[in-house]
Chains A and B, each alone.
Chain A
């Protein structure tokens, strides 16, 4: 019996940088931060969604060989990872707040069919849409 998705991971170029971004700019908090040698299992969680964790992982050994890791780093840096969507209650307010914090926006808030959406990237290149759903 499936009860929902618990954790989804992203590849990031640097875990400290990603952690600072997701915590300080997006309002997530650390859920798990465990190291084992070079490996670091790092997940963050949004206070409003305690059942879900976002994993922030770097490609590389021991999970990947160097060639695979390089390919993954290139894919992330080119913004070729799949779309990520953040749900917000007020897209324009979130945009102003995040922009003031230095978040790199790729699209200003646009109203489409009653929804308002904006786009931004994390420092690694992962692309997010931020959507305020029609009420």
Chain B
């Protein structure tokens, strides 16, 4: 089926298809549902308190597995390593606070779990492509089209899709190479 459609697909898309073909050992469907349920609990805990520190051993305790097993299983189950998932939640929350409140950016940086304004600004720009202040200005200019969707779900819908490591995004930006845009990978 892919062969038939490949002519019309951009090259990045094909690479994505190849990369995402699951290895037999890493097929998420082969994971024990009971383990997945406990991994979900750790993910929920990060969701509920993304501003807190979540070292792997703390998450592993929530899931009742060893730290090494946790990191591997979490990535297999949810497609991203736990620390990167946490990063997407922090960016999502910072985005909401920038958009919906008048709190100073420094305050938002600390409230969402960063240790310095500099790290926050740099990471935010690396992930979203714009600075916190630019994002705030743009979000306020845009009409609220999502008013009928429950706020909690809107928030999740605006979570960045971090399919590559932030360091990798940085490297590509420095190289001037583009890699596969995150949004295309998700489609």
Contacts and interface: CB of A to CB of B under 8 A. Distances in A.
A64 B1 CA distance: 24
Interface in B1-57: 28-31, 33-34, 36-37, 39-41, 43-44, 47-48
Contacts of A131: 150
Contact of B153 (A77, A125, A129): A129
Contact of A79 (B44, B48, B150): B44
Say what secondary structure dominates the interface of chain B: helix
Contact of A76 (B33, B39, B43, B150): B33
Contact of A71 (B29, B39, B47, B150): B29
A125 B40 contact: yes
A74 B31 contact: yes
A91 to B, nearest CB: 12
A107 B49 CA distance: 9
Interface residues of A, number: 27
Contacts of B150: 83, 85, 115, 117, 129, 131
B38 to A, nearest CB: 9
Interface string A98-119: 0000001011101011010101
Contact of A112 (B31, B33, B44, B151): B151
Contact of B40 (A13, A79, A107): A79
Contact of B77 (A67, A78, A110): A78
A121 B31 CA distance: 20
Interface string B149-179: 0111100000000000000000000000000
A106 B151 contact: no
Contact of A115 (B30, B31, B34, B151): B151
B48 A107 contact: yes
B33 A106 contact: no
B151 A13 contact: no
A15 interface: no
Given A73-B33, A107-B47, A78 B39 contact: yes
B110 interface: no
A74 B28 contact: yes
Contact of B152 (A77, A78, A119, A125): A119
Contacts of B153: 83, 129
Interface of B: 28-31, 33-34, 36-37, 39-41, 43-44, 47-48, 77-78, 150-153
17 contacts: A70-B29, A74-B28, A74-B29, A78-B28, A78-B36, A83-B150, A83-B153, A112-B151, A113-B151, A115-B150, A117-B151, A119-B152, A124-B37, A125-B36, A125-B37, A125-B40, A129-B153
4 smallest CB-CB distances across A and B, nearest first, come from A77-B36, A77-B33, A73-B33, A112-B151
